[in-house]
Structure 1
Amino acid sequence: MFFFRKQEKKQMIKKQQEQNQKQQNQNQQQQDFLSNDLNQNLQNLQNIYKDCIDVVFREFKMGGKTKAALVYIDGLANIEEIDASVLTPLMEENNAKENTDQLIYVNHILEQKLTVSKVKKVQTITECIEHISGGNPILLIDQQNEGFALGLANWEKRSIEEPVGESVIRGPREGFTESLGTNLSLLRRKVRSPQLKTKSMKIGEYTQTEVVISYIEGIADQTLIREVEARLNRIKIDGILESNYLEELIEDNPYSPFPQVLNTERPDVVAANLLEGRVAILQDGTPFVLIVPVSFYSLLQSTEDYYQRALMSTVVRWMRYIFLLISLLLPSLYVAILTFHQEMIPTTLLISIAVSREQIPFPALVEVLIMEVVFEALREAGLRLPKQAGAAVSIVGALVIGQAAIQAGLASAPLIMVVSLTGIASFTIPRYTAGIALRILRFPMVLLAGTLGLLGIMLGLLIIVIHMATLRSFGVPYLSPMAPMQAREMKDVLIRAPWWNLNTRPRLTGSDNIQRQGPNQKPNPDHGDNKTSKGKGGL
């Protein structure tokens, strides 16, 4: 009996707490609404923006009678437009209609006097803070329980330039900037259809960063769109400063070295992925746009693969796959063969390597690890130093340290060649994040090769392939379309088929609208509608 009374008492206390919390929320919501008293509204905003010297409260009288005020942040709002389009017409307004009907008078002001294209009504203090923080001034009028957000934001922004990390020989030379509005306009220039949809949300308790989900309606799967929205809405964090915050919070497997979200600075890359049924995530304050879902093979595809002729793109793509294997396996093969499988080396080459390693005090495993760490340090030093000194330090440092290591007897000449070829091969990976994954995996592969030889290399490759086969990017298998095998889509994996042969979209992302072009797109001058007879008018 005592137990049941205790449980009943706990339920009553919990119910009372829920009622109190509900009442408290209702009271807060009531206090959040703007009142008819201008002074009270200004007092509330001044309390919120206490000790904020950049927040301006400009009080004035419309037509010399009706009290009003503008609230904005200096540096975010366009001061010239405020003076010309807001203060000047309102202060010179003749408010003879004020005594008849205040609402009619305010509507008259908004419709005929304010020369501002974007005006939005706000009814709460929270909405006022949101617009003020976004650079839009708030106009408050006495005896009005609503304010007006004026679209006069004036952010300082960087000019449109070619992305440094994704430069191309042939293709567009424009890249995203840190301005979300500019990025959306660049994307809209590529996809001009009204089916290009953009949904906005705010993430970050303090930063209130605007994040936009973009997709093409009728191509993107609705289940994918809802999944992206659900993952973003789940994020509760104090601030979002760069798109990598979002990437780490929405990816499927955060402990995998392989990236499961594609990031790019190029509008054409985003547009191409949207046309295949993927979803783009744009964030204010960063030029990097996230694209989901992705596969491992999409990380190895360069932008320029689709701007060159199909044959050349296929050859370059095959070379890229070969260099990927070299970047991952060459140091470990060197260690495994020298440590366990010397019989695989031709006698002449083996004698040459043995002579070069005669004075080396370390085994091949330690030697490789030392030089790989030194090479990675030089690469990071080149990235962090200023551009004028970074390239010189990387190249000169590699040459000097490599030669000094050989002369000091700390490394052999064949190893310097192996490390150099590995570094060059890693630079051919188009996506920096995919290159980082290979750089990380190179070290455990070397350790396996140094302990188990070629068997260790095979074991490491099996572990990597099994891990990649279990990965998902928003439900899409990471190794698709090779695993699971989809033969029709292999024309854009190992090869790059001509555009006239890429008739369908990937089935795992664009199944709602699988056909991307009409039939019979292969060029055939002899069967064209405007065919010319041979020898007439031809070049």
Structure 2
Amino acid sequence: MDFPQEKEVEKKRNVQDTLSKNLQENTTFLQSIYNNCPDVIFRTFLIGNSLRAVLIYIEGLSNVEEIDKNVLSLLINLEVGMVLDFSTLGEKLPVSKVKQVVKIQEVIEQISVGNPVVLIDQQSHGLSMGLAKFEKRSIEEPSAESVVRGPRDGFTETLSVNTAMLRRKLKSPNLKMNTMSIGRYSQTQVAVMYIDGLVDQTLLEEVNNRLSRIDVDGVLESGYIEGFIEDYPYSPFPQMLNTERPDVAAAHLLEGRFVILVDGTPFVIIAPITFYSFYQAAEDYYQRFLMGTLIRWLRYLFLLIALLLPSTYVAILTFHQEMVPTILLLSVAKSREEIPFPALVEALIMEITFEALREAGLRLPKQVGSAVSIVGALVIGQAAVSAGLVSAPMVMVVAITGIASFSIPRYNAAIAIRMLRFPIMFMAGTLGLLGIMLSLITIIIHLSTIRSFGVPYLSPMAPMKGKEMKDVLMRAPWWSLKTRPRLTGNQNTYRQANGQNPSPTRETKQEMNKT
């Protein structure tokens, strides 16, 4: 469906669909499109002092040195007779990537990505050369995902660099890529990467169909794509995983998933995904499995603390004081005897203040952001206790809850927990522990109905897949992770050979016993 305000623009675009043999007509039409664009250069020249041609490129996006050396100088000195066979002209240019363009839209697309285009008189084709060159950020350690052990390279804002980094991780020719342009004005390059033979073809067709239906002004970040193709947009839980780390993307590709890369952002999208994927870190698989299992259990514990601790505190103080030991209850009651607010209001004040401090710390410059969040929390917490607005136990509860939420590896998953914390507190303040149980039942029912590109969100626990549980509640040793997840990697089930248990052989045991 076309936007009403763009009807006139669309009419102008369709005036001339393909290139004409008249060079002046092509040049005039393109100049009208790039009106008031002084950075778009139209360089007219003569081939062999007789045949007119024009070179079109955008200043700052193309390699001017290479254009002068390998394009202009060669064509100006080229004999006219050699141009008559236009199909072989590209072979004479010392440029690694040369492409013929026939339509005006193709010329615009090539110019927009930095590839200069040469149009020649009496020819209905143009030549696009892969001489794009622009300023780009170097490969650095990802700032949003700290690395304890593992590769320290992260994706950048350049699509070609990101795809090359994945190619470096997975050198198999089965790593395939589909590219498309999305956005009427931005014309953002989007790539879908997958491993042929591992990904489900129905899944691949579905993601391509969803991407092809996107019709929007521009795509400036991968979050735009995520918002258009997710299954349940009104759910607080994310249904796609985003990462800056190539090793994380490569690991998910090996499990039969696909990766969406968007030009202009270092964050790539991974799908289909499950609930437990957001609580697994890459370091779990780089350390010994006992350590990885222990840390994973701690994350699940911190998840419950981040979600339920303030609500449980409010429910117990409001309705279930008999559950608290007498000495502890007297201590809490003493600290609350001068507090003018009920426990629910007290918890809301502290939680909102803590969220405000956390958001302020993120938006401020890095040099002062952490200092403001930490010092602000200490000062405001101490001042609130001294002023009698909140009790000291409530400050401790909110602080422990905040620390627990920081242990969640994925930022978007942590946001979902932070959002749900507030309605659960309201339920706890009105119905007590019954309200908390009703909230948990509602959340579990909601999670059971969500699917990410057809994959149940709670799999492999619901539906139960016993063999796959070894990588959910625990991190089994690598030699026991023989199969891929069934719902994503069912095209090629086994990912390693049998019998790789590192136990010593019988001969080795006998030699060890002799010594």
* Short-chain TM bin: over 0.9
Note the C-alpha offset of 1:142: 1.1
Matches within 5 A, 1:327-346: 327-346=306-325
Q: Is the 8 A contact 1:123 1:147 kept in 2?
A: yes
In the alignment, which residue of structure 1 is the partner of 2:47?
Answer: 62
Q: Is the 8 A contact 2:90 2:127 kept in 1?
A: no
- The answer as to 2:413 corresponding to 1:434 is yes
Counterpart-to-counterpart distance in 2, 1:202 and 1:446: 45
Look up the SS of the partner of 1:189 in the other structure. Answer: helix
In the alignment, which residue of structure 1 is the partner of 2:84?
Answer: 103
Greater shift in the superposed pair: 516-525 or 25-34: 25-34
Amino acid at match of 1:354: A
Q: Is the 8 A contact 2:99 2:129 kept in 1?
A: yes
- 1:164 and 1:537, CA in 2 relative to 1: closer, same or farther beyond 3 A? farther
In the alignment, which residue of structure 2 is the partner of 1:322?
Answer: 301
Residues 37-85 of structure 1 deviation map (CA, whole Å, 9 limit, x = unaligned): 1111111111111111110000001121211110011011111110111
Note the C-alpha offset of 1:103: 2.8
Counterpart-to-counterpart distance in 1, 2:87 and 2:335: 89
Amino acid at match of 2:69: A
Counterpart-to-counterpart distance in 2, 1:196 and 1:74: 34
Counterpart-to-counterpart distance in 2, 1:426 and 1:46: 55
Q: Is the 8 A contact 1:58 1:69 kept in 2?
A: yes
Matches within 5 A, 1:421-500: 421-500=400-479
Note the C-alpha offset of 1:240: 0.6
Q: Is the 8 A contact 2:137 2:156 kept in 1?
A: yes
Counterpart-to-counterpart distance in 1, 2:75 and 2:272: 51
Counterpart-to-counterpart distance in 1, 2:153 and 2:247: 9
Residues 237-278 of structure 1 deviation map (CA, whole Å, 9 limit, x = unaligned): 111110011111111100000000100011111110010000
Amino acid at match of 1:59: T
- The answer as to 2:393 corresponding to 1:414 is yes
Note the C-alpha offset of 1:524: 2.5
Counterpart-to-counterpart distance in 1, 2:458 and 2:349: 33
Amino acid at match of 2:75: L
Look up the SS of the partner of 1:388 in the other structure. Answer: helix
Matches within 5 A, 1:94-493: 94-95=79-80, 97=81, 103-104=84-85, 106-107=86-87, 109-112=89-92, 114-493=93-472
In the alignment, which residue of structure 2 is the partner of 1:90?
Answer: 75
Counterpart-to-counterpart distance in 2, 1:136 and 1:237: 24
Amino acid at match of 2:511: K
Note the C-alpha offset of 1:166: 1.1
Residues 472-528 of structure 1 deviation map (CA, whole Å, 9 limit, x = unaligned): 101111000000101010000000000000000000001111111111111123258
Counterpart-to-counterpart distance in 2, 1:153 and 1:38: 24
TM-score (norm 2): 0.96
Match of 2:24 among 39, 44, 65: 39
Counterpart-to-counterpart distance in 1, 2:439 and 2:87: 72
- The answer as to 2:511 corresponding to 1:534 is yes
Aligned length: 506
Which protein shows a greater Rg? Answer: 1
Residues 396-423 of structure 1 deviation map (CA, whole Å, 9 limit, x = unaligned): 0000000000000001000000000000
Amino acid at match of 1:110: G
Counterpart-to-counterpart distance in 2, 1:90 and 1:145: 18
TM-score (norm 1): 0.91
Look up the SS of the partner of 2:312 in the other structure. Answer: helix
Counterpart-to-counterpart distance in 2, 1:244 and 1:487: 34
Q: Which 5+ residue runs of structure 2 have no aligned equivalent?
A: 1-9
Counterpart-to-counterpart distance in 2, 1:511 and 1:303: 23
Counterpart-to-counterpart distance in 2, 1:360 and 1:26: 69
- 1:532 and 1:453, CA in 2 relative to 1: closer, same or farther beyond 3 A? closer
Q: Which 5+ residue runs of structure 1 have no aligned equivalent?
A: 1-24
Counterpart-to-counterpart distance in 2, 1:130 and 1:342: 69
Counterpart-to-counterpart distance in 1, 2:102 and 2:88: 19
Q: Is the 8 A contact 1:293 1:473 kept in 2?
A: yes
- 1:27 and 1:137, CA in 2 relative to 1: closer, same or farther beyond 3 A? closer
Identity %: 63
Counterpart-to-counterpart distance in 1, 2:88 and 2:414: 61
Residues 445-484 of structure 1 deviation map (CA, whole Å, 9 limit, x = unaligned): 1100000000000000000000000111011110000001
In the alignment, which residue of structure 2 is the partner of 1:14?
Answer: none
Greater shift in the superposed pair: 198-207 or 25-34: 25-34
Match of 1:513 among 476, 492, 510: 492
Residues 267-318 of structure 1 deviation map (CA, whole Å, 9 limit, x = unaligned): 1111100100001111100101001100000011011111110000000000
- 1:108 and 1:439, CA in 2 relative to 1: closer, same or farther beyond 3 A? closer
Counterpart-to-counterpart distance in 2, 1:375 and 1:30: 58
